[in-house]
Homo-oligomer: A and B are copies of this chain.
């Protein structure tokens, strides 16, 4: 929903997958030029891994995981899809699956999944370009040129240290300025409620419009084990943003008041008001808002979860732990970026940066 704030941000996961694969190719070539041994099969496996790494994301991704699908992560779905493709391809994807599960040289796995993987490098630069938030722009190509291997692990050569610092700062900036922009949060939280309402009605046997693929997920309880069926996988791959948007437009004239109300507000960009705070909202404050919604809008208390949306957002700039960004000063002197950098507060870097949100209809004016 970032496009509600940055209208240029209409880019797709497909272009991200192409871009991440391209960066992987650059990374592999760079390492080979430095004498690291990477077989042709390993190179291909890693490139395929980037092309496919997001394949299990449904429409609006995290929204979907929080509404109509239960207890199954996009990673699990990706894995199921790749396994299916692997069978069709007679095992050609086995090395790719192995990279995901870590059955490979450690640095090959780190290239596809770590705090400095080609996934992050691509999406930061791409999102910066399409949103116009130029500050998120990072020096992908320079970081990749600084990659090397020490003791089998991925490291960044010391003169790339400032680029890595800037990468971490850019990621943090994009997180709060783009991904978790308050308008985006409000819209996504409304979208979750819309889909939850549709699912609830469907499970109660109500007849509501949906595209065939969406219908499958509304009228069936779908959890992790269900995804193992061919039908669920087939329907899932047919489902995309178009189904969701088309259905929500149709729901504007649904007979259910909650569904039609939320859908209309969403489509007409009459988004809920949102407050952000570094402290949790006090229970009596939440109650006051609930009361106001009930009184001003006539919403009964049992439907309140559709109108008062609250929760927390959090991000870490850098996780100090096993999956480190290693800086190599010399073949024998390697240390974690949080130690190598003069300016970062090693403690602070690893802290979780939290914000609490409170979101409710604009009709209720409750800002204090």
Contact = CB atoms under 8 A, between A and B. Distances in A.
Interface of A: 3, 7-8, 10-12, 14-15, 18, 130, 134-135, 137-139, 142, 159, 162-163, 165-166, 169-170, 172-173, 176-177, 209, 211-213, 238, 240-243, 245-247, 249-250, 253, 317, 342-346, 348-349, 351, 353
A150 to B, nearest CB: 20
B12 A10 contact: yes
Contact of A134 (B139, B209, B245): B139
Q: Copies per complex? A: 4
B345 A351 contact: no
Contacts of A138: 135
4 smallest A-B Cβ distances: which pairs? A345-B345, A162-B173, A10-B10, A242-B245
A31 to B, nearest CB: 22
Contacts of A353: 342
A58 to B, nearest CB: 14
A67 B74 CA distance: 38
Nearest to A134: B139
A72 B212 CA distance: 32
Given A165-B172, A211-B246, A212-B253, 14 more contacts: A8-B15, A10-B11, A10-B15, A135-B138, A135-B162, A137-B137, A163-B173, A166-B166, A169-B343, A238-B249, A242-B242, A246-B247, A342-B348, A344-B344
Given A166-B169, A348-B345, A246 B249 contact: no
Contacts of A212: 209, 249-250, 253
Nearest to A350: B343
A225 to B, nearest CB: 26
Contacts of A165: 169, 172-173
